[in-house]
Amino acid sequence: MAHPAIGVRTLELVDPRFYHLDTALGVLDDRTIAYHPAAFSARSRRLRDELFPDAIIATDADAAVLGLNLVSDGLDVVMTDRAPHLEAELREAGFRPVTVDLSELLKGGGRVKCCTLELQEIRSCPTRSSPTV
């Protein structure tokens, strides 16, 4: 997990149902995450308690439908329509959930985050056709 204020931290997933971080943890804004405790080792849960004491806890049912595989701009949270408890928790915390039906994508093991492309600023990236000096 990387965060501008805390740097890169290692989190250990211990439940094979959660095969990468996006299936067990969703970043909501700079101070808030949602996560499923059972997916992580005890050390990782302690680190989460230290860094994100106000984390929103996803239920087993929310996590099983990959409800944490979401995208947030800090207010609006695009997420599956199959995680009603997590949706309610997000609303209570002041976020605006936007639910979508991606049931076909779940058949391949994905949800909302899997439909995104992160764009980052590229400063100077030479290509094979770029002249060399």
Catalytic choice (3, 114, 115, 125): 114
Catalytic choice (3, 20, 36, 125): 20
Residue 20 is among the residues annotated as catalytic for this protein: yes
Residue 114 is among the residues annotated as catalytic for this protein: yes
**Shortest CA distance to 78 belongs to which of 47, 114, 46?**
114
Domains and CATH numbers, the chain: 2-113 (3.75.10.10)
* pTM, entire model: 0.80
Q: How many angstroms separate the CA atoms of 119 and 122, rounded?
A: 9
Indicate the pLDDT class of residue 19, thresholds 50, 70 and 90.
confident
**pLDDT tens readout for residues 93-105:** 999 999 998 877 7
User: Is pLDDT of 63 > 60?
Assistant: yes
User: Is pLDDT of 131 > 70?
Assistant: no
Contact assessment for residue 70 and residue 77, using Cβ atoms and an 8 Å cutoff: yes
